[in-house]
Structure 1
Amino acid sequence: MSEIRTLEQQELPESLALSQFAFQYELSAEEQEDRSNWTDPKQIWGYFVQGKLTAKLQINQFHTWLNGQRFAMGGIAGVATWPEYRRNGMVAKLLLQALKVMKEQGQTVSFLSPFKFEFYRKYGWETYIDYLKYEIPADKLPKFHAPEGSSIVRVTREWELLNPIYEQYALQFNGMMERDASWWNNRYFKNKKGTVALYVNAKGERTGYVFYQVKEYTATIHEMVFLDEETRRGLWKFIADHDSMISKVEVKAPADDQLPFLVHDPKFKQEKITYFSARIIDVEAFLRQYRFESRKEVEPIYLRISDPHADWNDGIFQLQFTGSGGEKAEVIKLAEGEQPADERILSCSIQTLTALFMSYQKAGFMAKIERLQGSQELVTQLEAAIPQRTTYLADFF
Structure 2
Amino acid sequence: MNFRLAGEQDRGLVESLWDYCFEHREDPFFQWYFKNFYKPEQVLMGFQGDQMACLTHLNPYTLNLRGRQVQTSYIVGLATHPAARRGGVGGKLLTAALEEMKRRGHYVNILMPSKAGFYQPYGYELYCHQWKETLPLDALRPLTDRTLHYGFITSPDEWTYLAPVYDAYTRNLSGYAVRDEQSWRSHISAQLAEGNIAVCLDGDRPVGYLFYQLGEPTIVSGEFVYATARGKKGLLNYIYNHRSQGDTFQWNEGIHDQSYRFYPDGKQGHETMPFMTGRIVDVKGALEELPYQAEGSLTFRTDDPLADWNTGTWRLTVQDGTASVEKRPDGEMTDAVMPIGTLALLVFGAMDVDDLVFNEKIQGTDRALEILQALFPKEKCYINEWY
TM-score scaled by length of structure 1: 0.85
Please give the alpha-carbon distance, in whole angstroms, between the structure 2 residues aligned to 1:269 and 1:147. 23
Aligned partner of 2:201: which letter?
Answer: Y
Match of residue 187 from structure 1:
190
CA distance in 2, matches of 1:213, 1:337: 55
2:301 is matched with: 304
Distance 1:250 1:233 in 2: 15
Query: Match of 1:381, as an amino acid?
Result: I
2:208 equivalent in structure 1: 208
Asked if 2 retains the 8 angstrom alpha-carbon contact of 1:175 and 1:392, the reply is: yes
| Counterpart selection for 1:316 from 313, 316, 329 | 313
Identical-pair percentage: 25
Cα distance in structure 1, aligned partners of 2:305 and 2:216 = 51
- Against the structure 1 CA distance between its residues 242 and 367, is the aligned structure 2 distance closer, same or farther, given a 3 Å change threshold? same
Distance, in Å, in 1 between the alignment partners of 2:132 and 2:248 is 13
Q: Deviations over 1:153-202 (max 9, x none)?
A: 33434333323432342343332223414531453432x3124123235x
CA RMSD of aligned residues (A): 2.8
Structure 2 counterpart SS, 1:275: strand
1:55-94 equivalences under 5 Å are 55-94=54-93
**Which of 150, 153, 157 lines up with 2:151 in the alignment?**
153
Deviation, structure 1 residue 101 = 0.9
Any residues of structure 2 matched to 1:25-64 within 5 Å, and which? 25-27=24-26, 35=34, 38-64=37-63
CA contact (8 A) 1:126 1:352 kept: yes
Give the aligned residue type for 1:329: T
Q: Which residue of 2 aligns with 1:388?
A: 378
Structure 1 residue 70: Cα displacement:
1.3
TM-score computed with the length of structure 2 as normaliser: 0.87
**Hey, what's the Cα distance between the residues in 2 that align with 1:267 and 1:337?**
52
The answer to whether residue 255 in structure 2 is matched with residue 255 in structure 1 is: yes
The AA in structure 2 aligned to 1:189 is L
Match of 2:337 among 324, 347, 354: 347
Give unmatched runs, 5+ long, in structure 1. none
Give the equivalent residue in structure 2 for 1:331: 324
**1:244 to partner: Cα distance:** 5.7
Answer with 1 or 2: which has the greater Rg.
Answer: 1
Q: Which moved more, 1:4-13 or 1:15-24?
A: 15-24
The answer on whether the counterparts of 2:125 and 2:277 sit within 8 Å (CA) in structure 1 is: yes
Counterpart of 2:105 in structure 1 is 106
Give the total of aligned pairs: 382
d(CA) in 1 for partners of 2:186, 2:326: 37
* CA-CA distance at 1:363 after TM superposition: 1.0
The match for 2:200 is 198
Report how far residue 245 of structure 1 moved: 5.0
Distance 2:27 2:212 in 1: 26
Counterpart-to-counterpart distance in 2, 1:287 and 1:59: 21
